[in-house]
Amino acid sequence: MKLTRYGKFGYEKPGLFDEQNILRDLSAHVADIDPYLLSNLSKIEGIDPIQLPTVEGNPRLGSCVAGTGKFICIGLNYSDHAAETGFPVPSEPVIFMKATSAICGPNDPAILPKGSKKMDWEVELGVVIGKPAKYVPEAQALDHVAGYCLINDYSERCFQDECEGQWTKGKSCDNFGPIGPYLATRDEIANPQNLSIWLDVNGERRQRGNTNTMVYGVAHLVSYISHFMSLQAGDIISTGTPPGVGKGMNPPAYLKVGDVVTLGIEHLGKQRQVVVAEP
């Protein structure tokens, strides 16, 4: 299933995309695409999408997951990305948190924060937890995954690297976490470690890669993180980005008002954001 949420921010309804990519309304069957549903997807597995009402027009898509408790990110998880940013390949996964208030829809505006000088892009594979996980062996880790989604892990490099403290402050500005357009349930993705991944800025290809070059794969990450904190249904893990970020260019290039960022992952759809100034 390709589960999504649509409508005005804060008032999204649950839906899904059928095999013809037609948006269908799920609200007669579930309240939302939230932890309650993600922990037991069998509640909707028998639904025939063709029997669901179609959603007319072209509504806004919200984040494909509601009620996320933790937004966990993995840094430097592609060796060539680590090299372009001047860091060594980490000997174990680098974990940092992104504020859940950064979460927005896949095509919502990308907001250039006040005082920003180095706003950057990062296309990433997102992993959404369904079954709670704690001290999970790697061999069973994927059993705890509800599905996968597309994420743009926006970063403000000055806030992240040049200000005191941890990376979180450069990762958590409003609209720095577009998620969607849909959550592909685990049965839709045969192998999360073989998905092509790309990002363009103003129509120019900046990032191109494949999840098969991750330093630490999805199963390892879920297992590893579960040894430091319990993972709950609705939690999101953003698994790192391939090379081609603005910081790694020569000279470095960063986003400005009016820029258009488009990105996608094989089988997980596309996103489009226009950079706007913070009101």
Tell me the domain boundaries of the chain. Answer: 66-277
The pLDDT of residue 164: 77
The pLDDT of residue 109: 98
| Whole-model pTM over 0.85 | yes
Range 66-277 has CATH code 3.90.850.10 = yes
CA distances from 15 to 24, 49, 175, 223 (A): 5, 10, 22, 30
pLDDT means over runs of 10, the chain (279 residues) = 97 97 97 97 93 96 98 91 79 96 98 96 98 98 98 94 83 97 97 97 97 96 98 98 93 97 98 96
The pLDDT of residue 238: 98
Could you tell me where the DSSP H helices lie in the chain?
35-38, 79-84, 157, 218-226
- CA 32 to chain centroid, in Å, comes to 18
The pLDDT of residue 56: 94
The pLDDT of residue 61: 98
The pLDDT of residue 80: 77
